[in-house]
Structure 1
Amino acid sequence: MVKTVRLEPIAQEMAIETNGNLLSVLLRKDLDVLKECGGRGMCATCHVYVRDGMDALSPVNRREQRTLEVITSCKPNSRLACQARVLTDGVVVELPPGMYINSIQDIEALVGRRAEENLLHPVTGHVLVEAGKLITRSVLKQIEATTSFDYKTFFANSSDS
């Protein structure tokens, strides 16, 4: 059966098959989701907030819980879109504010400019450069030093259940 998921703040509804994951909805909408770990619940690049309908989603598994624990922008309504499966209607999803960066090269071209929105660490969600702040070479070096999180090692002992 087909269910409906509402995406905020873009105020659009998307159809999804029962038991389909939220990541598929985001990708079909061409939203910029990095999915660094390939949808295995290990990297948090598909982190979303569930505004409504948390009980309409599959329960959080141990791997997802462990990943959510390292996200500084995590809230009680946080989920990883790749792990949250839609069971019934009534789900409203909100994307976290800010722009996730994939690598340091993604922002090298921005040196000398002001960040249009918060630049966020792709795993932890830490704000690397606040919106409106100037991106300088020294900020770039600081970012390089703070983006060496090895999520593969961190989650090596995690299981899917």
Structure 2
Amino acid sequence: MKQIKLQPLNQDVEVATESTLLSVLLKQEMNVLQACGGQGRCATCHVYVRDGGDALSPKSEQEIMTLSFITSSKANSRLACQARVWQDGIVIEVPQGMYIGSIGELKNLIGKRAQQNLIHPLTGEVLVEEGKLILRSALEKMAEIDSSFSTDLSQILLPPEKSTVASK
């Protein structure tokens, strides 16, 4: 068993070696959206490693690519679904806020005050800050981010078009 600390809860948790940080968060009943089902393809389990980063498994290529799309990503960012606990001494901080799963979910909140930051599920960008009124402009912002993200992702995932030369 290994010891890790969860911030901002200031809570010490004992976990089995090789456990993912996501399993730790879920065991502590933290609300983690897991939009991609733990495949490392979204940002909804994004955490910051405040200490002990070398006590975690290294980042995979998939995790590095996904983190590159997150606007709130830093050098100490990890996807909790991909980071496995190898040793003691890890301190992680969970970003404060609520991930919004869809435009429909956000639409249902229009006219209310955000109880916490409302965060885009793929990029980690704050759509509405805590305490602010949720307006239709947040829907436009989410749609714009979705469109931009899809364009960026398609450019990375699709092979470049081969130019064809007509032969005579």
Distance in structure 2 (CA, Å) of the matches to 1:122 and 1:154: 20
- The letter of the residue matching 1:136 is L
In 2, are the aligned partners of 1:33 and 1:46 still within 8 Å (CA)? yes
Q: In structure 1, what is the Cα distance between the partners aligned to 2:75 and 2:137?
A: 35
Aligned to 2:16: 17
Give the TM-score taking structure 1 as reference length. Answer: 0.86
Which protein is richer in helix relative to its size? Answer: 2
> CA shift at 1:154, angstroms?
7.4
Distance 1:136 1:4 in 2: 42
**Distance change >3 Å, CA 85–CA 100, structure 1 → 2:** same
Alpha-carbon separation, structure 2, partners of 1:154 and 1:81: 26
Percent of aligned pairs sharing the same letter: 54
* Equivalent residue pairs, number: 156
What residue is the counterpart of 2:58 in the other structure? Answer: 59
Partner of 1:110: 109
Residues 112-132 of structure 1 deviation map (CA, whole Å, 9 limit, x = unaligned)? 122232211101011212223
Structure 2 residue 73 is the aligned partner of structure 1 residue 49 = no
The equivalent residue for 2:87 is 88
RMSD: 2.1
Go from structure 1 to structure 2 and tell me whether the alpha carbon gap of 1:114 and 1:154 turns closer, same or farther (over 3 Å shift).
farther
Q: Distance in 2 between matches of 1:46 and 1:155?
A: 22
Q: CA deviation at 1:40?
A: 1.3
TM-score normalised per structure 2: 0.83
Structure 2 unmatched runs, 5+: 159-168
CA distance in 2, matches of 1:81, 1:87: 14
Structure 1 equivalent of residue 163 of structure 2: none
* Aligned pairs for 1:1-161 within 5 A: 2-148=1-147, 149-150=149-150
